[in-house]
Amino acid sequence: MTEDRLIDIEIKLSRQEDLLDTLNETVYRQQKKITELEGLCAALARHLQTSGDASGESRPAHEPPPHY
């Protein structure tokens, strides 16, 4: 009976190690994507700031566009 129990524990441990590896890979890919998206958001914010400054106009955010 002890041998069977030991085998069951080894199987469970092996499955948990595989699951942990899978989870680590998922977290790594998600963090990589988050970092990429943060960079894109920062670039977009810089672009919006510079394009607003370049046009020479400073409209409040709540004011409707001129075509209304």
Question: How do residues 7-60 score in pLDDT, each as one tens digit?
Answer: 999 999 999 999 999 999 999 999 999 999 999 999 999 999 888 766 555 556
Q: What angle do CA 28, 33, 38 make, to 5 degrees?
A: 125
Contact at 8 Å (CB) between 52 and 58? yes
Query: Quick one: pLDDT at residue 8?
Result: 97
Q: Which phi and psi angles does 12 have, rounded to 5°? A: -60, -40
Query: Quick one: pLDDT at residue 37?
Result: 98
pTM score, whole prediction = 0.63
User: Which residues fall within 8 angstroms of residue 58, CB to CB, at 6 or more apart?
Assistant: 52
Q: Is the pLDDT of residue 4 over 90?
A: yes
Q: Which phi and psi angles does 66 have, rounded to 5°? A: -65, -20
C-alpha–C-alpha distance, residues 39 and 45, integer Å: 10
